[in-house]
């Protein structure tokens, strides 16, 4: 499709809009970011931002990726990305990573990189910014990445296996199918030959010089952007960029980054890809069209276009969701969005995604296509559009209200998008103002006109890919079957969609309000505790972290352990079934329509020893949110259609779970640890299909029938008087039988002593997995033990990464996991070494877990200990400014009488080698409980 046509609707609108917005046709660029360009072409973005405080984020983005590779370099854009962490001019070997960790930057979470077809981006985030030497070092790292990666032969050779291990881990199922079929999805385009993971023959065998050639050719200032956002001095950073980067020269004959075209296809492309590790069918149908030209993205048209495709996607989702609930609908889920066509930035496509019902692939695709055609023929209704528009505006409103607390990282990502894809940088203030003016002016007819153009009813530029589960003896449909079905839908005569909307209010009448009986304050943690007339407890803490956020939870003791057959699907999937149920006479679909434009929602949660609700809302929508809570406790009712759809989806996923190596391994670890206890196994498809809705609702009555057992927690920027009034109205009014705790039982059945489970499994992509777990059940639940567990785990994690990934190159990921948990009042601690290993190196790698544990007990690595402490201390400051953190702290205090906040940093500071060593020896190892599970390919 040609773009000009696509713009007609938007342009027509603009004509009427100019006077209203009294704005230039060019979008205003955010003034709070300093954007500049050096003479050598290096672009930079610098912004001071205070959220989170005292830290900053550093990015380097390059406009190059795997499409710039030569045939002999396939995969080297990605290998190069790995090499950036293995020696640079100023940070030899692993020093870069070690240095960042030493100032509190967590590897993986705060330090990472990614490579795609058109971009390669590196970043480290939440770096302490108060010390100038640290800021200077961070700038030096960016400089090294831009042109000082060492690329020694030794380091390259050590990294080959790590990338190969990553290939084993990642390229399975849909990824494998895409890798195989990419040339057919992109006939005549280089994109078809440049899947970023590349060729393993190149990774294993390329000469170092081939890699260096790619680096020299493409990593140049004119292809790079430096982005620094955080609690920093903008002038200082700009000076640094100038002094560090200005001297880098770009050769006069430097190769240009060319746009890689994606040719049109006159004939439809229909493909069926099979893979044994693809758990369920997923079908994509893309209707290609030209991408919005970069040079026009700074215009008001683009803002309008982007808004229209946004609400289009939103309305399609709602239609598909409603359709999927019909008992004979052959798809379980579908969505359609106008976005980049798979991996190519030069082409966009309206992309339909369908998850069909089992055995109904072709019918599912056709049914989803039919809904698109219905929109093509008749458009959306005014009421659908009204909801989508108010939802859109409500989200902008929320972002606007929370603008003082926009995280630094979202600015960074915005600037990466500006640099790579020319996306505009409009401040949230301007966006809010513009959209409030523009959105109400855009009629549903304009969106319908756009939809008509996006939804193509011919085979030209049509690309359809089915990814299906490969099974022995299974009969497959052919690409022609999909083509025939699509052709038939295109000819159908359809009827317009009818939007049924319930006009009544959520609650017919307000419940009889109760009162607040008692009030206490907790000075240390700064919250108020109320006891209500019905016996319910309320904890509330007012904060100003986010102007437009209130987080909530309701919890009570009990959970799965007080229900009959806790291993059954009725119990294991109860939270999903309840969250998909009706409230009063409002079915799930009615509820979604009624809540459009409101930021509120609740989720049921059940664990082994507790149950409750969680949710988030805004001050404006607080009353609706309180009504939802009231209804969740009093009016849950059957929505057979919604629940049968979700059960179907879960069961289909579970049917082929034996093909999923990851899931099989996890399940083996759990069944070995808990002696085959069914509560801790992955439920089977049969169990899920046997769910009885009546039993789920009986259980709900038992768990949620007595408000006196619950603690309701509110943290955020509420109006005190208003919240109190709502609490009396909607929570103190909940039915109650007086406080009668459902005493949680203990479902745990830990195996004792030393247990080993080494097994073999048939695999498509041979990959070994190992978990070495130490456990103690004799450990008090205290702040000190919690911190000890965390620090010890981090020390082991760094050691395993160093020994198994870096030294042996035996894994893409090797590390440690650990936690101190409490269930039914009894605490237990587990620490595990975990690794996804190259099978050929597994025998060498697995003993490293034990070795590392012994070495750490003998003498914990002091540097790693310091790094772990720095990471926790820094994170503590960041966390303490979030509402979710306080919800956790208050609930823990209320439930266990333990203050995990006040002394936290003091306890972290007090960590030393002796304490770690004693904890691991006397608490963890002394118990004698140890589980080893390994899975090897057959
Ligand atoms: Zn990688």
| Per-residue model confidence as pLDDT tens digits over 10-65 | 544 544 444 444 345 899 999 999 999 999 999 999 999 999 999 999 999 999 99
What's the 814 CA to ligand 1 centre distance in angstroms?
Answer: 14
88 forms beta bridges with 149
How far away, in angstroms, is 76 Cα from ligand 1 center?
11
Average pLDDT over residues 402-413: 96
Q: Looking at the predicted structure, is the pLDDT value of residue 825 above 50?
A: yes
CA atoms of 546 and 652, how far apart (whole Å): 40
Distance 146 CA to ligand 1 centre (A): 18
How many angstroms is it from 444 CA to the middle of ligand 1? 45
- Weakest-pLDDT range from 73-77, 388-392, 742-746: 742-746
Burial class (CB in 10 A: 0-12, 13-18, 19+), 212: middle
711 CA from centroid of ligand 1 (Å): 45
Phi, psi of 305 (to 5 degrees): -60, -45
What are residue 227's DSSP bridge partners?
Answer: 45, 59
619-658: pLDDT as tens digits: 999 999 999 999 999 999 999 999 999 999 999 989 989 8
Q: What is d(CA 166, CA 765) in angstroms, rounded to the nearest whole number? A: 11
The Å distance, Cα 130 to ligand 1 centre, comes to 32
Q: Are 934 and 846 in contact (CB under 8 A)?
A: yes
Per DSSP, the three-state class of 528 is strand
Going from the Cα of 792 to the center of ligand 1, the distance in angstroms, rounded, reads 27
Q: How large is the average pLDDT for residues 741-764?
A: 93
pTM of the predicted protein model? 0.93
Going from the Cα of 418 to the center of ligand 1, the distance in angstroms, rounded, reads: 24
| pLDDT tops 50 at residue 934 | yes
Q: State pLDDT tens for residues 782-807.
A: 999 999 999 999 999 999 999 999 99
Ligand 1 centroid to 165 CA: how many Å?
9
pLDDT surpasses 70 at 4: no
Distance 848 CA to ligand 1 centre (A): 23
How is residue 524 written in tokens?
Answer: 């240390």
Distance 826 CA to ligand 1 centre (A): 41
Q: How far is the CA of 936 from the centre of ligand 1 (A)?
A: 23
Ligand 1 centre distance from Cα of residue 726 (Å): 51
Nearest-angstrom CA–CA distance, 710 and 708: 6
Q: How far is ligand 1, taken at its centre, from the CA of residue 834, in Å? A: 18
Res 336 pLDDT > 70: yes
Q: How far is CA 644 from the centre of its chain?
A: 26
| Minimum mean pLDDT range among 141-145, 512-516, 740-744, 843-847 | 740-744
Residue 218 alpha carbon to ligand 1 centre in Å? 19
User: Who's near 630: CB < 8 A, 6+ residues apart?
Assistant: 507, 511, 730, 731, 733, 734
Q: Convert the pLDDT of each residue in 575-620 to its tens digit.
A: 999 999 999 999 999 999 999 999 999 999 999 999 999 999 999 9
Measure 117 CA to ligand 1 centroid, in angstroms. 13
**Residue 454 Cα to ligand 1 middle (Å):** 35
The rounded Å distance from CA 216 to ligand 1 centre is 20
Mean pLDDT of the 665-678 span: 96
Q: Is the pLDDT of residue 6 over 50?
A: no
Expressed in angstroms and rounded, the spacing between residue 812 Cα and the centre of ligand 1 is 8
Residue 902 token pair: 């006040």
- Ligand 1 centroid vs 159 CA: distance in angstroms? 10
- Report CA(163)–ligand 1 centroid distance (Å): 6
Query: Which residues, at least 6 apart from 645, have a Cβ–Cβ distance to it below 8 Å?
Result: 324, 325, 329, 332
Q: How far is the CA of 115 from the centre of ligand 1 (A)?
A: 8
Å from CA of 120 to ligand 1 middle: 11
Report the distance separating Cα 155 and Cα 804, nearest Å.
Answer: 15
Q: How far, in Å, from the CA of 114 to the mean position of ligand 1? A: 7
Cα of 360 to ligand 1 centre, how many Å? 36
Distance between Cα 178 and ligand 1 center (Å): 18
Distance from the alpha carbon of residue 166 to the mean position of ligand 1, in angstroms = 6
- Looking at residue 13, what is its pLDDT? 52
Asked whether the beta carbons of 418 and 424 are under 8 A apart, the reply is: yes
For residue 169, report the distance from its CA to the centre of ligand 1, in Å: 11
Name every residue whose Cβ is closer than 8 Å to that of residue 601 and which is 6 or more positions away in sequence: 595, 615, 616, 617, 628
Task: Round to the nearest angstrom and report the end-to-end CA distance of the chain.
Answer: 50
For the range 812-815, what are the long-range contacts, defined as Cβ-Cβ under 8 Å and sequence gap of 24 or more?
812/162, 812/163, 812/165, 812/166, 812/168, 812/169, 812/836, 813/169, 814/845, 814/848
Question: How remote is the CA of residue 78 from the centroid of ligand 1, in Å?
Answer: 6
Q: If you measure from the C-alpha of residue 199 to the centroid of ligand 1, how many angstroms do you get, rounded to a whole number?
A: 13
User: Separation of 772 CA from ligand 1 center, angstroms?
Assistant: 25
Ligand 1 geometric centre to CA of 113 (Å): 8
Task: Tell me how far the alpha carbon of residue 197 lies from the centroid of ligand 1, in angstroms.
Answer: 8
Residues with CB under 5 A from ligand 1 (ion): 166
Provide the token pair at 759. 């097994």
The Cα–Cα gap between 190 and 209 comes to: 23
What average pLDDT does the chain have?
A: 95
71 versus 17: the higher-pLDDT residue is 71
Give DSSP secondary structure letters for 279-304. -S-EEEEEEEEEPPPGGGTTBHHHHH
Query: How far is ligand 1, taken at its centre, from the CA of residue 71, in Å?
Result: 20
Q: Ligand 1 centroid to 118 CA: how many Å?
A: 16
CB 547 within 8 A of CB 397: no
Tell me how crowded residue 496 is: count the other CB atoms within 10 A of its CB.
Answer: 11
**Cα 162 to ligand 1 centroid, rounded to whole Å:** 8
| Cβ 334 vs Cβ 353: under 8 Å | yes
Q: Cβ of 749: how many Cβ atoms within 10 Å?
A: 12
Dist. CA 479 → ligand 1 center (Å): 33
- Identify the pLDDT of residue 10: 52
Whole-number Å distance, alpha carbon 529 to ligand 1 midpoint, is 49
Count of residues making up the chain: 938
Strand partners, 751: none
CA of 698 to the centre of ligand 1 (A): 49
CA 831 to ligand 1 center in whole angstroms: 26
CA of residue 82 to ligand 1 center, whole Å: 6
Question: Separation of 846 CA from ligand 1 center, angstroms?
Answer: 22
> How far, in Å, from the CA of 65 to the mean position of ligand 1?
13
- Cα of 195 vs centre of ligand 1, distance in Å, is 13
CA dihedral sign, ordered 156, 162, 166, 168: positive
Residue 26 has what DSSP assignment? B
On whether the CB atoms of residues 842 and 936 are closer than 8 A, the answer is yes
Q: How far is the CA of 77 from the centre of ligand 1 (A)?
A: 10
pLDDT of residue 475: 87
DSSP 523: T
Residues 6+ apart with CB under 8 A from 861: 795, 798, 799
Tell how far the Cα of 919 is from the centroid of ligand 1, in angstroms: 35
Q: Before 52, cis peptide (omega within 30)?
A: yes
512 Cα: distance to centroid of ligand 1 (angstroms): 59
pLDDT digits (tens, 9 = 90+) for 452-510: 999 999 999 999 999 999 988 888 999 999 999 999 999 999 999 999 999 899 998 99
pLDDT score recorded for residue 659: 87
Distance 100 CA to ligand 1 centre (A): 19
242 C-alpha to ligand 1 centroid (Å):
31
Asked if 553 contacts 891 with a C-beta cutoff of 8 angstroms, the reply is: yes
Q: Please give the distance, rounded to the nearest whole angstrom, from the Cα atom of residue 847 to the centre of ligand 1.
A: 25
Q: In what order do the strands lie in the sheet with 537-542?
A: 516-522, 527-532, 537-542, 711-716, 550-557, 610-617, 600-606
Q: Determine the Cα–Cα distance for residues 215 and 144; give it in Å rounded to an integer.
A: 12
Tell me, in angstroms, the distance from the centre of ligand 1 to residue 326's CA: 43
User: How many Å lie between the centroid of ligand 1 and the Cα of residue 63?
Assistant: 18
- Dmax (CA) of the chain: 82
Helix H or strand E encompassing 111: strand 111-115
Looking at the DSSP assignment, which residues form a beta bridge with residue 347? 290
Q: What separation in Å is there between the alpha carbon of 510 and the centre of ligand 1? A: 56
Q: What are phi and psi of 540, to 5 degrees?
A: -140, 140
Place of tokens 């009014």: 733
CA 80–ligand 1 middle distance (angstroms): 9
**For 269, what's the count of Cα atoms within 13 Å in the CB-facing half-sphere?**
22
CA separation for the pair 690, 676 (Å, rounded): 21
């Amino acid at each position: 499709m040609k773009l000009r046509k696509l713009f007609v609707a938007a342009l027509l609108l603009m004509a009427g809009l100019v006077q209203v917005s009294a704005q230039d046709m060019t979008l205003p660029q955010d003034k709070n970011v300093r954007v500049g360009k050096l003479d050598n072409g290096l672009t930079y973005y610098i912004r001071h931002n205070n959220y989170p405080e005292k830290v900053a984020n550093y990015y380097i983005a390059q406009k190059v990726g795997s499409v710039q590779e030569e045939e002999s370099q396939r995969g080297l854009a990605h290998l190069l990305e790995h090499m950036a962490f293995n020696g640079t001019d100023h940070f030899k070997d692993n020093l870069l990573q070690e240095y960042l960790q030493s100032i509190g930057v967590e590897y993986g979470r705060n330090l990472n990189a990614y490579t795609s077809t058109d971009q390669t981006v590196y970043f480290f985030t939440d770096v302490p910014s108060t010390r100038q030497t640290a800021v200077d070092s961070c700038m030096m790292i960016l400089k090294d990445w831009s042109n000082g990666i060492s690329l020694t032969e030794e380091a390259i050779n050590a990294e080959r296996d790590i990338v190969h291990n990553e290939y084993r881990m990642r390229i399975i199922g849909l990824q494998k199918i895409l890798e195989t079929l990419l040339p057919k999805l992109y006939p005549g385009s280089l994109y078809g030959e440049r899947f970023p993971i590349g060729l393993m023959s190149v990774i294993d065998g390329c000469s170092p010089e081939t890699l260096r050639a790619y680096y020299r050719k493409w990593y140049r200032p004119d292809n790079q952007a430096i982005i620094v956002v955080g609690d920093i001095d903008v002038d200082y950073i700009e000076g640094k960029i100038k002094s560090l980067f200005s001297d880098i020269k770009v050769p006069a004959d430097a190769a240009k980054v060319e746009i890689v075209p994606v040719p049109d296809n006159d004939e439809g492309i229909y493909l069926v890809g099979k893979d044994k590790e693809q758990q369920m069918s997923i079908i994509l149908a893309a209707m290609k069209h030209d991408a919005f030209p970069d040079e026009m993205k700074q215009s008001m048209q683009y803002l309008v276009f982007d808004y229209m495709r946004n609400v289009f996607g939103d309305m399609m989702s709602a239609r598909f969701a409603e359709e999927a609930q019909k008992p004979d609908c052959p798809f379980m889920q579908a969505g359609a969005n106008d976005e980049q066509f798979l991996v190519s930035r030069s082409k966009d496509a309206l992309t339909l995604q369908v998850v069909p019902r089992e055995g109904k692939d072709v019918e599912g695709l056709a049914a989803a296509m039919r809904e698109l055609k219905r929109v093509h023929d008749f458009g959306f209704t005014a009421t659908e559009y009204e909801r989508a528009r108010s939802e859109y505006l409500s989200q902008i409103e929320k972002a606007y209200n929370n603008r003082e607390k926009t995280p630094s990282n979202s600015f960074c990502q915005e600037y990466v998008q500006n640099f790579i894809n020319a996306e505009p940088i409009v401040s949230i203030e301007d966006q809010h103002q513009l959209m409030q003016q523009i959105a109400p002016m855009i009629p549903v007819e304009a969106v319908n006109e756009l939809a008509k153009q996006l939804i193509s009813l011919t085979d030209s530029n049509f690309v359809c890919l089915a990814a299906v589960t490969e099974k022995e003896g299974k009969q497959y449909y052919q690409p022609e079957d999909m083509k025939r079905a699509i052709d038939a839908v295109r000819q159908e005569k359809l009827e317009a969609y009818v939007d049924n909307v319930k006009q009544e209010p959520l609650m017919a009448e307000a419940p009889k309000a109760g009162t607040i009986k008692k009030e206490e304050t907790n000075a240390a943690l700064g919250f108020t505790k109320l006891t209500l007339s019905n016996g319910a407890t309320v904890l509330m803490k007012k904060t100003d972290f986010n102007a437009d956020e209130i987080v909530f939870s309701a919890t009570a003791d009990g959970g799965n352990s007080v229900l009959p057959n806790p291993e059954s699907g009725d119990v294991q999937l109860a939270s999903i079934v309840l969250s998909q149920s009706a409230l009063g006479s409002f079915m799930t679909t009615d509820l979604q329509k009624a809540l459009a434009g409101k930021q509120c929602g609740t989720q049921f949660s059940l664990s082994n020893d507790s149950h409750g609700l969680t949710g988030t809302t805004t001050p404006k929508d607080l009353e609706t949110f309180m009504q939802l809570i009231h209804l969740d406790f009093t009016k849950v009712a059957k929505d057979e259609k919604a629940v049968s759809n979700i059960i179907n989806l879960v069961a289909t996923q579970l049917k082929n779970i034996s093909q999923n190596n990851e899931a099989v391994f996890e399940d083996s670890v759990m069944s070995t640890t808990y002696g085959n206890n069914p509560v801790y196994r992955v439920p089977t498809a049969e169990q899920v299909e046997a769910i009885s809705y009546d039993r789920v609702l009986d259980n709900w009555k038992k768990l949620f029938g007595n408000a006196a057992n619950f603690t309701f927690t509110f943290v955020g920027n509420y109006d005190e008087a208003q919240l109190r009034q709502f609490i009396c109205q909607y929570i103190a009014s909940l039915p109650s039988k007086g406080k009668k705790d459902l005493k949680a039982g203990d479902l745990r059945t830990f195996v004792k002593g030393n247990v080993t489970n080494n097994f073999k499994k048939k695999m498509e992509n041979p990959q070994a997995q190992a978990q070495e777990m130490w456990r103690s059940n004799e450990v008090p639940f205290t702040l000190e033990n919690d911190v000890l567990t965390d620090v010890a785990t981090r020390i082991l994690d760094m050691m395993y990464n160093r020994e198994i990934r870096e030294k042996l190159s035996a894994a893409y990921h090797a590390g440690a996991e650990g936690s101190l948990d409490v269930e039914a009042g009894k605490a237990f601690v587990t620490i595990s070494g975990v690794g996804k290993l190259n099978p050929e190196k597994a025998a060498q790698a697995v003993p490293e877990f034990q070795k590392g544990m012994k070495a750490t007990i003998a003498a914990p690595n002091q540097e790693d200990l310091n790094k772990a402490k720095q990471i926790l201390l820094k994170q503590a400051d960041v966390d303490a400014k979030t509402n979710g953190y306080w919800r956790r702290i208050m609930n823990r205090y209320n439930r266990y009488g333990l203050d995990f906040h006040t002394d936290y940093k003091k306890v972290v500071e007090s960590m030393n080698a002796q304490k770690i060593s004693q904890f691991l020896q006397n608490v963890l190892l002394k118990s004698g409980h140890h589980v080893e599970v390994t899975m090897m390919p057959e």
